[in-house]
Amino acid sequence: MRFTAISSKKYSSISQLMKLAIFLTFFMSCSVAQAAKGPAGQVRFFNNADTDFDNYLRNPSVAQKKWMRDHYSRMLSYSPSFDKKNSWYKGGLAYVNSYAIYENDQLAKSHPEWIMRDARGNKLYIPWACGGGRCSQFAGDFSNPKFRSYMIGKMKAIVKKGYRGLWLDDVNLTWRVGNDSDVNTHITPIDSNTGRPMTLNDWRRYFAQYLEEVRAALPKTIEISHNAIWYADTMKAKNPYITRQIKAANYVNLERGASDGGLVRGTGQWGYETFLKYIDYVHKRGAAVILMDDGYTTTQREYGLATWLLISQGNDLFSSDQHNWMTPNNWWKGYSLNLGKALNDRYTWNKLIRRDFACGSVFVNQPDTSTVSVAVGNGYKNVDAKPVASVSLQAKTAAILTTPCNAARKVPSHKFLP
């Protein structure tokens, strides 16, 4: 674990420094327990059991329960409504917003000092679900040890109900705080520890420390997912606080996945290849990822899954926001694919990004490119089991092709992407 220097001015006694050292030693000894790895080419689906999924959870039959256990590696679950379902589904990650104090919650009244404030003393919000001059969530002050302790106690109580772990929302290692009148306007909070405007560096430091405390407070077997912002800082200069955040997680959840409309070609700030390199960075720090894709069309569906196959290490998860093809009554066959063992990492091939598996290959044409038409050879079939000898891929499209399984099959000579 990488820790940054901590000024001794903030710790007035040797006793406080000793307590800090004990905590750091304990945390460093608690390595994050990762989910068991399977074949990198086998899809591991992460289902969002939100209100749109309630029809499948109200009174499922024995057969329906088994189907969900067989098809959903993990589920984003919501306590208390999902609590009793933990008796038959053991992969639930319970939703908790990492620093929200809900406006209509008694906590907002009993502990107003735990809400971030601006220079005038006005309460600040997480810029989400805002309208009519108000937002639903105050920004909890995660720099306040008492607030952090309250939240960790809440998380510990939830996982004791039988959840596999937690899915922490709004793990924002960049500014996400504002007022209730304009959600697009950032408002710098006052640092309750110094009385001065909080710096972005301190925002990240407080958040990283908080997440480390969460990890240290829970058993190693409890999985923790961070719904994080992958572009929180440039990947050209690895941020130590973002590194600490990643190391405190089992999964880093990436909303919108590869279908994100803001992704462009290449290695720039918003580049598709930059997005993939961020995932590589997460993997190297010991965490898996959840690609929560939001593609709407069949073409987008295959593109999102193909991108996941480019980066899969065998314990990553894939998700879709579209219930019309990932429920027990509407299941896309692509989510049952198992291409087997990965034969290599992703690489460039005929202007496409490619990866090969024992039982197939994936071909991706990233955003903002020209159409690429290329022969792939004999023996391939597409997701619909139709023979394919060539593909023609427009920008931001992909082909997932299967072939008779052969872990020793020959693949083209190539250079891996850096």
130 pLDDT tier (thresholds 50, 70, 90): confident
Q: What is the pLDDT of residue 181?
A: 66
Distance CA 353, CA 398 (A): 9
First to last CA, the chain: 25
Return the CATH number of the domain spanning residue range 35-338: 3.20.20.70
Average pLDDT, the chain: 89
Of residues 346 and 11, more confidence is placed in 346
pLDDT in tens, 63-113: 999 999 999 999 999 999 999 999 999 999 999 999 999 999 999 999 999
Largest CA distance in the chain: 73
For residue 266, pLDDT over 90 is answered with: yes
pLDDT in tens, 273-293: 999 999 999 999 999 999 999
Q: What is the pTM of this model?
A: 0.89
For residue 264, pLDDT over 50 is answered with: yes
Return the CATH number of the domain spanning residue range 341-418: 2.60.40
Is residue 290 within 8 A of residue 296, CB to CB? The reply is no
Of residues 327 and 323, more confidence is placed in 327
Q: What is the pLDDT of residue 183?
A: 64
pLDDT in tens, 170-191: 999 999 999 876 667 899 999 9
Distance CA 317, CA 34 (A): 13
The full DSSP string for 280-321 is HHHHHTT-EEEEEE---SHHHHHHHHHHHHHH--SS-EEEES
For residue 6, pLDDT over 90 is answered with: no
Distance CA 47, CA 62 (A): 19
378: left (phi over 0), alpha (psi -120 to 50) or beta: beta
415 pLDDT tier (thresholds 50, 70, 90): low
pLDDT in tens, 327-386: 888 899 999 999 999 999 999 999 999 999 999 999 999 999 999 999 999 999 999 999
For residue 5, pLDDT over 60 is answered with: no
Q: What is the pLDDT of residue 131?
A: 75
8 pLDDT tier (thresholds 50, 70, 90): very low
Q: What integer is the mean pLDDT of 104-128? A: 95
Q: Take residue 366 and report the two structure tokens written for it.
A: 């990233």
Q: What is the pLDDT of residue 238?
A: 78
For residue 204, pLDDT over 60 is answered with: yes
Domain segments of the chain as ranges: 35-338, 341-418
Q: What is the pLDDT of residue 418?
A: 57
Minimum mean pLDDT among 8-17, 67-76, 88-97, 121-130: which range? Answer: 8-17
Rounded CA Rg of the chain: 23
Q: What angle do CA 124, 244, 216 make, to 5 degrees?
A: 90
Q: What integer is the mean pLDDT of 319-323? A: 80
